[in-house]
């Protein structure tokens, strides 16, 4: 009989013991997706992924996209029978079938529901599955808490800035639409640009501003900044629609005001491409941070913006770009190139709010803030349980530790808002 050393014997014994222990433990039954459902609750396409183990995951698309339901359900056959905790394996089947805003929203909502389900199955919050949190509270900026305006002159914007400054959420950063992103502002004075106002899809106007138009936009911003002072940042949602030379002129006028960023000057919203060369021309001409990205689907379409240093801030929307993991990948790649991230999310709803909190907790240190979504209509706050009360304190949201996204439906309260065709959504 050959001799073995004490160390070899101990290693053999440990291996045998580990194998015996593993063999003795019953294998966890493989969880399978049995159904994909979508209900329009209010105006929000709401996703439920159902499994054979009684666990469901929920996701949500932006509140003004009720037309997405058929597209969501198109993916059902791709999901049935899959293990939802293998999020990437499932996403490989459907990710290629989305497109730029708004057609990436269905894929994104499904991805968020998968993470919710995976977290619940593992008994851990989603941020753990995204790499773990590096911050215990996350900053959100105000893009949607608004108050009625009586006009669109500088004094009116000063008044609205004061109301947002005093809002109960205590925002430390506020974003306001200006220029072609704010039709009321541009139409408040005659001849603001060299073209006729257009009608149709969102933000249809585009063109060269007149001196009168440029002076009006600058004056409105100056009025807001004077009220907000140095303690509350001001970001501007500008377009799309600006000509490059106007964008540079405006950016230079904003430099003394320390504006946090200028968003979507060249392309944005439903424009299905990011024009990196034009954005870079603006970015290299000013010290004011230039921002874009809410309309972009998937990491590949951020590649030029990031690698060409075309912008200073990227703003993917997790509910349009492909989901939470996709946004985190973009954030990490941007960070390698010295570019900041401030995710878009104004219409992402309360399930979307929960998703943003978990994502922001795990984003790298190039994170600024995410855009604070609201429950719309107001009764959404009565049908979702699990959010902090109050949700926001002094501009920040404390990260919670409940499994999955950590929010659930009050099913009894929610049922009355289901359309007849969606009556089986919670069954």
Residue 162's pLDDT is 98
User: Where in the sequence is the domain holding 102, given as residue range(s)?
Assistant: 33-123+417-422
Q: Would you place residue 15 in the very low, low, confident or very high pLDDT band (cuts 50, 70, 90)?
A: very low
Same domain, 100 and 136: no
Helices (H), 42-86: 69-74, 76-79
Indicate the SS3 state at residue 52.
coil
Same domain, 213 and 153: yes
Domain count, the chain: 2
Sheet holding 370-371, edge to edge: 370-371, 137-141, 396-398
Tens of pLDDT, residue by residue over 232-252, are 999 999 999 999 999 999 999
Mean residue pLDDT across the chain: 94
Whether residue 10 lies inside any domain: the answer is no
Same domain, 193 and 310: yes
**Strand pairing class (56-60; 44-51):** antiparallel
Whether residue 11 lies inside any domain: the answer is no
Distance CA 104, CA 76 (A): 16
Whether residue 79 lies inside any domain: the answer is yes
Whether residue 384 lies inside any domain: the answer is yes
Tens of pLDDT, residue by residue over 282-340, are 999 999 999 999 999 999 999 999 999 999 999 999 999 999 999 999 999 999 999 99
Query: Residue 119 has which token pair?
Result: 């977290």
Same domain, 115 and 143: no
Query: Residue 308 has which token pair?
Result: 């060409």
Q: Would you place residue 171 in the very low, low, confident or very high pLDDT band (cuts 50, 70, 90)?
A: very high
Residue 144's pLDDT is 95
Same domain, 189 and 90: no
Whether residue 24 lies inside any domain: the answer is no
With beta carbons less than 8 A apart as the criterion, state whether 293 and 263 touch: no
Query: 156, exposed or middle or buried, with CB in 10 Å at 0-12, 13-18, 19+?
Result: middle
Same domain, 119 and 255: no
Q: What is the CATH number of the domain that holds 219?
A: 3.20.20.120
Between 214-228, 267-281, 403-417, the lowest mean confidence (pLDDT) is in: 267-281
Residues 117-133: what's their mean pLDDT? 98
Whether residue 226 lies inside any domain: the answer is yes
Same domain, 38 and 176: no
Same domain, 209 and 307: yes
Same domain, 113 and 165: no
Same domain, 175 and 244: yes
Between 20-34, 201-215, 276-290, the lowest mean confidence (pLDDT) is in: 20-34
Residue with structure tokens 């001196």?
211
Torsion angle, alpha carbons of 216, 221, 223, 224, to 10: 150
Helices (H), 130-234: 154-165, 183-186, 211-228
Residues 167-192: what's their mean pLDDT? 97
Same domain, 141 and 107: no
Q: Would you place residue 41 in the very low, low, confident or very high pLDDT band (cuts 50, 70, 90)?
A: very high
The closest of 397, 386, 302, 388 to 357, measured between CA atoms, is 397
Distance CA 68, CA 365 (A): 34
**Residue 8 pLDDT exceeds 60:** no
Counting Cα atoms < 13 Å in the Cβ hemisphere of 259 gives 30
Indicate the SS3 state at residue 124.
coil
Between 41-50, 156-165, 249-258, 264-273, the lowest mean confidence (pLDDT) is in: 264-273
Tens of pLDDT, residue by residue over 271-280, are 889 999 999 9
**Residue 210 pLDDT exceeds 70:** yes
Tens of pLDDT, residue by residue over 346-366, are 999 999 999 999 999 999 999
Whether residue 427 lies inside any domain: the answer is no
Task: Give percent of the chain with pLDDT exceeding 70.
Answer: 93
Residues 199-221: what's their mean pLDDT? 94
Whether residue 345 lies inside any domain: the answer is yes
Residue 190's pLDDT is 95
Instruction: Please give the distance of CA 4 from its chain centroid, rounded to a whole number.
Output: 60
Give Rg (Cα) of the chain: 24
Q: Would you place residue 200 in the very low, low, confident or very high pLDDT band (cuts 50, 70, 90)?
A: confident
Residue 23's pLDDT is 52
Give residues with Cβ within 8 angstroms of 115, minimum separation 6: 57, 87, 126, 129, 130, 323, 324, 325, 355, 358, 404, 405
Sign, CA torsion 55/61/65/71: negative
Residue 28's pLDDT is 63
Residue 27's pLDDT is 60
Count CB neighbours of 300 within 10 A.
9
Same domain, 200 and 249: yes
């Amino acid at each position: 009989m050959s001799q073995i050393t004490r160390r070899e014997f101990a290693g053999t014994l440990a291996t045998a013991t580990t194998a015996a222990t593993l063999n003795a433990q019953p294998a966890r039954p493989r969880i399978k997706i049995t159904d994909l459902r979508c209900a329009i609750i209010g105006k929000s396409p709401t996703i439920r992924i159902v499994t054979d183990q009684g666990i469901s995951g929920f996701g949500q698309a932006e509140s003004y996209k009720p037309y997405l339901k058929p597209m969501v359900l198109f993916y059902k056959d791709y999901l049935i029978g899959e293990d939802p905790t293998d999020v990437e394996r499932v996403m490989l089947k459907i990710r290629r079938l989305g497109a730029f805003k708004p057609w990436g929203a269905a894929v994104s909502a499904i991805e968020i529901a998968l993470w919710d389900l995976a977290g619940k199955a593992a008994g851990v919050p989603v941020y753990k599955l995204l790499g773990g949190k590096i911050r215990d509270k996350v900053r959100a900026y105000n893009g949607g808490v608004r108050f009625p305006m009586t006009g669109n002159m500088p004094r009116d914007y000063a008044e609205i800035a004061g109301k947002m400054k005093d809002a109960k959420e205590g925002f430390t950063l506020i974003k306001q639409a200006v220029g072609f992103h704010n039709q009321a502002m541009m139409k408040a004075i005659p001849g603001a640009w060299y073209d006729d106002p257009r009608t149709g899809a969102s933000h249809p106007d585009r063109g060269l501003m007149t001196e009168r138009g440029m002076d009006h936009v600058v004056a409105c911003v100056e009025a807001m900044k004077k009220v907000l002072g140095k303690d509350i940042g001001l970001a501007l949602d500008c377009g799309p629609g600006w000509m490059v030379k106007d964008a540079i002129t405006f950016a230079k006028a904003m430099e003394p005001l320390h504006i946090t960023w200028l968003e979507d000057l060249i392309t944005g919203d439903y424009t299905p491409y990011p024009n990196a060369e034009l954005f870079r021309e603006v970015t290299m001409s000013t010290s004011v941070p230039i921002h874009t990205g809410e309309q972009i689907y998937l990491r590949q379409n951020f590649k030029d913006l990031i690698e060409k240093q075309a912008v200073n801030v990227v703003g993917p929307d997790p509910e349009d770009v492909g989901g939470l993991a996709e946004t985190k990948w973009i954030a990490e790649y941007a960070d390698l190139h010295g570019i900041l991230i401030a995710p878009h999310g104004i219409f992402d709803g309360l399930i979307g709010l929960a998703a943003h909190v978990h994502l922001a907790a795990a984003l790298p240190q190039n994170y600024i803030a995410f855009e604070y979504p609201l429950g719309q209509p107001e009764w959404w706050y009565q049908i979702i349980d699990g959010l902090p009360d109050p949700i926001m304190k002094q501009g920040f949201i404390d990260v919670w530790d409940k499994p999955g996204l950590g929010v659930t439906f009050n099913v009894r309260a929610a049922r009355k808002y289901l359309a007849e065709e969606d009556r089986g959504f919670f069954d």
